[in-house]
């Protein structure tokens, strides 16, 4: 390049669509954990591998030449097996042809649903603390996130506050059970109450159910179980969470045909299709229901091991009815802010956690941090040995 070229080269100044978004706390804490050799119980992913049978199934699909574009909504056999799974568990039959779409992870499914249904000025209720992509998704669509806190202490839905937030501009509500970060699970009564509240409205529900197979004290109350809710809901689940393959980024969204049709319009001009051999491999693996049905027992054992260990520390465990997250109250140990406590815990004690304040739009402080227990037993034991020193 000569001097003249460099004078015409010009990178446009762009106005950020997400001006308040920076590096996430997950990236920050993971980097800090690496720097200090801390046990990383921060970010939510397993430190153990998936079942080799799943890898074999994907490998077999690749070797069988299943490597070209699949149909836009997903390979038929996978959609058929998703339909069968949901019907067996929740008693609702989604039509694989028109109501099931395979996506590149749940995060993409949620963004796709938001872009499909939310327009400029539309309001979307999000229940804080919540997964960090929800509000930026709404902002990208030109909508306005309306943050309604879950009940302090229990993290149960506060229906009076949700009712107060509902208005003529409300286009959607995003719910998440089992809930990240609190580990709370919505009851049947909660789902019926939501259905009743939305009855007179045209509000779409986006139900993030990525931890559907990790409930420890009863059955998962999928929106798919409740006909009135199913009629207005996009249910999202993630194979990444269920099969210990978060890096594969493969999930699905199910919704009544008119909602799925709009969802697919956005999906086809975004990712278009999701990688073929993994869809075939997962379809093969999904045929054996024990792979998802046994997950709750697997994680219940880890939860119980971790909670038993925490009982010997000065951290106070909050209830954990679902997910692979355990929240603790550290007020007996420190008066630091949640962020400062997590940094201190990582650098001085050698265990990384995530501050709950990171999941709130108002960044409120409750002296609660979140650990992820999707880890090998030896990883959990090492973390617990360090936490006992507190
Ligand atoms: C509540 C919730 N929703 C969605 C996701 C993302 O799922 P995926 O990896 O399939 O995009 C996560 C991952 O941490 C999550 O906790």
User: For 224-246, what is each residue's pLDDT tens digit?
Assistant: 999 999 999 999 999 999 999 99
Beta strands 354-355 and 368-372, pairing class: antiparallel
Atom of ligand 1 minimally distant from the CA of 238: 10
| Residue of minimum CA distance from atom 13 in ligand 1 | 44
Atom of ligand 1 minimally distant from the CA of 108: 11
Task: Tell me the mean pLDDT in the region 279-288.
Answer: 98
Q: What is each CA distance from 13 to 16, 114, 247, 268, 329, in whole angstroms? A: 9, 27, 33, 30, 44
98: pLDDT strictly greater than 70: yes
Give the 3-state secondary structure of residue 108: helix
Ligand 1 centroid from CA 206, angstroms: 13
Q: In whole angstroms, what is the distance from residue 85 CA to residue 220 CA?
A: 14
Name all residues whose Cβ lies below 6 A of ligand 1: 44, 105-107, 131, 176, 180, 208, 210, 238, 240, 246, 249, 251
Ligand 1 centroid from CA 210, angstroms: 6
Q: Is the model's pTM score more than 0.85? A: yes
Atom of ligand 1 minimally distant from the CA of 240: 10
Note the pLDDT tens digit of each residue in 160-169.
Answer: 999 999 999 9
Ligand 1 centroid from CA 133, angstroms: 9
Q: Residue 3 has which token pair?
A: 């001097």
Q: Residue 155 has which token pair?
A: 């993290």
Q: Residue 44 has which token pair?
A: 């939510």
Note the pLDDT tens digit of each residue in 292-328.
Answer: 999 999 999 999 999 999 999 999 999 999 999 999 9
4: pLDDT strictly greater than 90: no
Candidate from 180, 247, 249, 354 with most ligand 1 atoms within 8 A of CB, to mutate = 180
Note the pLDDT tens digit of each residue in 124-135.
Answer: 999 999 999 999
DSSP-H helix ranges across the chain: 3-8, 25-36, 52-63, 76-90, 106-117, 134-140, 159-165, 188-198, 227-230, 239-242, 257-268, 276-286, 290-293, 295-310, 338-344, 377-387
Q: What residue has token string 């009940």?
A: 151
Which of the four pLDDT bands, split at 50, 70 and 90, describes residue 249?
very high
Phi, psi of 49 (to 5 degrees): -90, 165
Q: In whole angstroms, what is the distance from residue 390 CA to residue 380 CA?
A: 16
Phi, psi of 215 (to 5 degrees): -120, 140
Q: Residue 228 has which token pair?
A: 């009135």
CA 55, 56, 59: angle at the middle one, nearest 5?
A: 85
Task: Tell me the mean pLDDT in the region 150-163.
Answer: 97
> DSSP class of residue 10?
-
CA 78 to chain centre: 21
Spell out the residues 6+ positions from residue 366 whose beta carbon is closer than 8 angstroms to its own: 152, 329, 338, 356, 357
- List, edge to edge, every strand of the sheet that includes 144-149: 100-103, 251-254, 233-238, 204-208, 170-176, 123-128, 144-149
Atom of ligand 1 minimally distant from the CA of 110: 4
Ligand 1 centroid from CA 136, angstroms: 15
Task: Tell me the mean pLDDT in the region 94-123.
Answer: 98
Atom of ligand 1 minimally distant from the CA of 44: 14
């Amino acid at each position: 390049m000569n001097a003249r070229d460099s004078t015409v080269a010009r990178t446009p100044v762009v106005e950020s669509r997400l001006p308040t978004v920076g590096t996430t706390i997950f990236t920050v804490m993971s980097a800090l954990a690496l720097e200090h050799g801390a046990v990383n119980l921060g970010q939510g992913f397993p430190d153990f591998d998936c079942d080799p049978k799943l890898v074999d199934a994907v490998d077999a699909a690749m070797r069988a030449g299943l490597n070209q574009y699949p149909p836009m909504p997903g390979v038929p056999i996978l959609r058929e097996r998703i339909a069968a799974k949901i019907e067996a568990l929740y008693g609702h039959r989604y039509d694989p042809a028109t109501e099931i779409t395979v996506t590149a992870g749940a995060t993409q499914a949620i963004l796709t649903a938001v872009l499909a249904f939310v327009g400029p000025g539309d309001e979307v209720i999000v229940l804080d603390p919540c997964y960090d992509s929800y509000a930026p998704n709404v902002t990208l669509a030109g909508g306005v996130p309306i943050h309604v806190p879950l009940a302090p202490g229990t993290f149960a839905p506060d229906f009076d506050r949700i009712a107060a937030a509902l208005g003529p501009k409300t286009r959607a509500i995003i719910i998440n059970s089992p809930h990240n970060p609190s580990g709370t699970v919505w009851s049947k009564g909660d789902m019926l109450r939501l259905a009743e509240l939305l009855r007179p409205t045209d509000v779409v529900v986006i139900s993030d159910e990525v931890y559907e197979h990790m409930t420890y004290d009863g059955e998962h109350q999928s929106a798919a179980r409740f006909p009135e809710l199913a009629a207005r809901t996009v249910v999202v689940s993630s194979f990444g969470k269920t099969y210990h393959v978060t890096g594969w980024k493969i999930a699905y969204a199910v919704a009544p045909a008119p909602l799925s049709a709009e969802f697919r319009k956005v999906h086809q001009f975004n990712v278009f299709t999701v990688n073929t051999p993994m869809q075939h491999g997962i379809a093969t693996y999904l045929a054996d229901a024990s792979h998802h049905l046994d997950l709750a027992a697997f994680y219940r054992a880890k939860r119980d091991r971790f909670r038993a260990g925490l009982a010997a520390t000065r951290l106070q465990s909050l209830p954990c009815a679902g997910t692979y997250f355990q929240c603790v109250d550290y007020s007996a140990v420190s008066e630091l802010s949640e962020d400062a406590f997590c940094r201190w815990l990582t650098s001085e004690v050698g265990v990384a956690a995530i501050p709950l304040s990171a999941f709130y739009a108002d960044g409120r402080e409750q002296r609660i941090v979140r650990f992820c227990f999707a880890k090998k037993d030896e990883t959990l034991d090492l973390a617990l040995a360090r936490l006992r020193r507190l």
